[in-house]
Structures are given as C-alpha cells and as structure tokens.
C-alpha cells in the first residue's frame, strides 16, 4: 500500500538490480506470463523481445510495480518494487495523452514529484535536475513546448529526461523504437548507452530483433513464458526463435551460413490496452 509519506527502502548493495523468480500472472483466467526467472545487474542494457501479445508490456509493468504477479517474487535491489521510487517506466507513445496541456519541462518535473514531497513546489535544486535532464537528452530548447507539438523521437526523449529527473536506477522503456525513423532510433540508442554507464539498469521492449541483437548486453525472449535469457548470441538461436515466433521463421541460405529471418510484425502492442 502506498502512503503519502513513504520511507524509500535502502538499496541492498549486494543484490542484483532486478531479480524475478518464477513470475506467474493470469488475467481473466488466461495465463499471460509464467516461469519468468531473470537477474539483471546495474549498468546492463537488456532487451525484452517477443511477438505481439507475448507479455512484454506486462513484464515491464510487473517490474515497475504497476502489476502484481499472482505467484513469484520480484526484487529490486533486494526489496519489493512497491515503495521504490527509483524505477522509471516509459510507456508506449500511443498510450500517452499528447493533447494534455502540459509542457516538456512540466513532464520532466513530474519525475521529481516524490523528491519534492507533498505540499511543496519544485525548488531551485529540482530545477537544476530538470535542466540537466533536458540537456542530456538534447531537449533544452523545447522546454516550453506543449508535448503534442513534438516529433516521435523528441517525445521519447522527453520521457527519458523524466526518468533522469526521477534519478531512476532502473529505466523501463516500452517499445521506444516503434514508429521512429532510423536516425531517431540511433540517437535514442546512443543515449541509452550513455546512461547505462552511470549506474542505471535499462530494460527495453522491442520488436526489432536485429536491433536487440546488435546493441544490447542481454536479451529476454518471451512468449507468455520465458523462452531464453542471456547474451544475444545465446538467445538468438533457431530453436528459441521457432519457439517464440512459431511459423514466422524462415531460413535463408547465404554464403557462410544460414540467415534466419523471423517476421516480428510491427504496430501496436495489444497488451498496451489493458494491464
């Protein structure tokens, strides 16, 4: 139960940033996620991949503490997610109300709400954090724009800045690359790599397997249950992909080996609608 004044649990230095054991969640009688066992350390950049409806958003929301699993244990630095304010969840862009009358700076400021505390307004210190966050994502000139006026890539960066202002140690991004052009994708990726080195663990869900393969330290491959977790070379092997994507896997012979192609589709993640 969250209260108005919460003690933030102190982080257990020995514990991994995130540990999920035997996670199981059912919704309306259907199992949405099961058998999820992962351990993630700080300074790791991890991709969560799987087909539509695999439970990627659900997994992220369990880590964030928005959803509670029916069975299993989630540990953030040795404690349960609730009460931790160091987790930032960046939603899919389609889930955000871009018409809301709020500016870029105000969205970033929202990240600091627990640090500011109840009944107080942002202080000088808070504004320093907000300005720094905006600088690190390169959105300083857009501070006073209403968020609906931004491009897709810029919108993503605003929420990243929010996570930074929150001083988050775990950042979860739900399909940040969907709908972005290559250069925007690249700049987001560059930023994620930058943040990774500053004591932050980052989980990113994506459809794009080649992206996951090339840019991420670890991959979590799921399709309603954990299929594989580890380095991309360990995870992206044919049997795993078949298990995850079923008939959408094609073998293409090429010089020096076989190219395995998986249709991962794109578009809106239906899980985003509920949960």
Partner 1 sequence: MAEWVQWLAEPFRYEFMLRGLWASLIVGVVCPILGTYVVLRGMAFLGDALAHIILPGVVLAFMLEWPLPVGALIVGTTAALAIGAIGRRADIKEDAAIGVVFAGAFALGVAMISVQRSYAVDLAHILFGNLLGVSNADIRLMLALGVVVLLTIFAFYKEFLVLSFDPVLATTLRLPVTFLQNLLLVLLAIVIVISLQAVGVALVLAMLVTPASAAFLLARRLPVMMVLSAGIGVLSSLAGLYLSYYADVVSGSAIVLVATVIFGIVFLFAPRNGAIWGLWRRMHVRR
Positions in the binding site for partner 1 (CB under 8 A): 2-4, 6, 61, 64-66, 82-85, 87-89, 91, 95-97, 100-103, 106-107, 109-111, 113-114, 116, 118-119, 121-122, 146, 166
d(CA 185, CA 274): 26
Report which of 203, 212, 192, 263 is spatially closest to residue 59, judged by C-alpha positions: 203
- CB 7 to partner 1: min, Å: 11
Handedness of CA 102, 110, 136, 154 (dihedral sign): negative
- CB 185 to partner 1: min, Å: 24
Nearer to partner 1, 102 or 249 (CB): 102
As a whole number of Å, the end-to-end CA separation of the chain is 18
Report which of 127, 184, 130 is spatially closest to residue 155, judged by C-alpha positions: 184
Nearer to partner 1, 15 or 143 (CB): 143
Nearer to partner 1, 92 or 228 (CB): 92
- CB 91 to partner 1: min, Å: 6
Nearer to partner 1, 140 or 146 (CB): 146
Nearer to partner 1, 116 or 249 (CB): 116
d(CA 104, CA 218): 32
- CB 33 to partner 1: min, Å: 17
Alpha-carbon separation of residue 215 from 117, 122, 138, 253 (angstroms):
37, 36, 21, 24
d(CA 65, CA 158): 22
d(CA 87, CA 65): 9
Nearer to partner 1, 56 or 84 (CB): 84
The radius of gyration of the chain's CA atoms, rounded to the nearest angstrom, is: 19
- CB 141 to partner 1: min, Å: 16
- CB 171 to partner 1: min, Å: 11
Nearer to partner 1, 82 or 152 (CB): 82
Angle 96-99-103 from CA coordinates, rounded to 5° = 90
Locate 222 and state its tokens.
């799921």
Nearer to partner 1, 51 or 91 (CB): 91
Q: Helix, strand, coil proportions of the chain in percent (round to 5)?
A: 35, 25, 40
- CB 234 to partner 1: min, Å: 31
- CB 129 to partner 1: min, Å: 15
Alpha-carbon separation of residue 60 from 49, 80, 98, 151 (angstroms):
11, 14, 22, 24
């Amino acid at each position: 139960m969250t209260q108005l004044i919460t003690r933030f649990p102190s982080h257990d230095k020995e514990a991994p940033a995130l540990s999920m054991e035997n996670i199981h969640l059912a919704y309306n009688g259907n199992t949405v996620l099961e058998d999820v066992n992962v351990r993630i350390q700080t300074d790791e950049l991890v991709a969560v991949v799987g087909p539509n409806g695999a439970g990627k958003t659900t997994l992220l929301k369990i880590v964030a503490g928005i959803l509670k699993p029916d069975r299993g244990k989630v540990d953030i630095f040795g404690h349960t997610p609730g009460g931790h304010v160091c987790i930032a969840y960046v939603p899919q862009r389609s889930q955000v109300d871009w018409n809301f009358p709020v500016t870029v700076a105000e969205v970033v400021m929202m990240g600091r709400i627990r640090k500011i505390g109840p009944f107080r307004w942002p202080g000088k210190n808070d504004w320093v954090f907000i300005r720094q966050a905006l600088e690190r994502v390169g959105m300083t000139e857009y501070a006073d724009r209403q968020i609906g006026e931004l491009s897709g890539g810029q919108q993503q960066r605003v929420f990243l800045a929010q996570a930074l202002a929150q001083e988050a140690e775990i950042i979860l991004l739900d399909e940040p690359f969907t709908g972005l052009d290559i250069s925007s994708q690249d700049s987001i990726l560059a930023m994620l790599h930058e943040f990774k080195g500053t004591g932050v663990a980052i989980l990113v869900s994506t459809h794009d397997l080649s992206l996951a393969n090339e840019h991420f330290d670890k991959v979590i491959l799921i399709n309603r249950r954990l299929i594989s977790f580890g380095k991309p070379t360990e995870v992206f092997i044919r049997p795993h992909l078949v298990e995850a994507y079923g008939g959408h896997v094609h073998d293409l012979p090429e010089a020096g080996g076989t190219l395995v192609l998986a249709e991962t589709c794109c578009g809106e993640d239906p899980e985003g609608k509920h949960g």
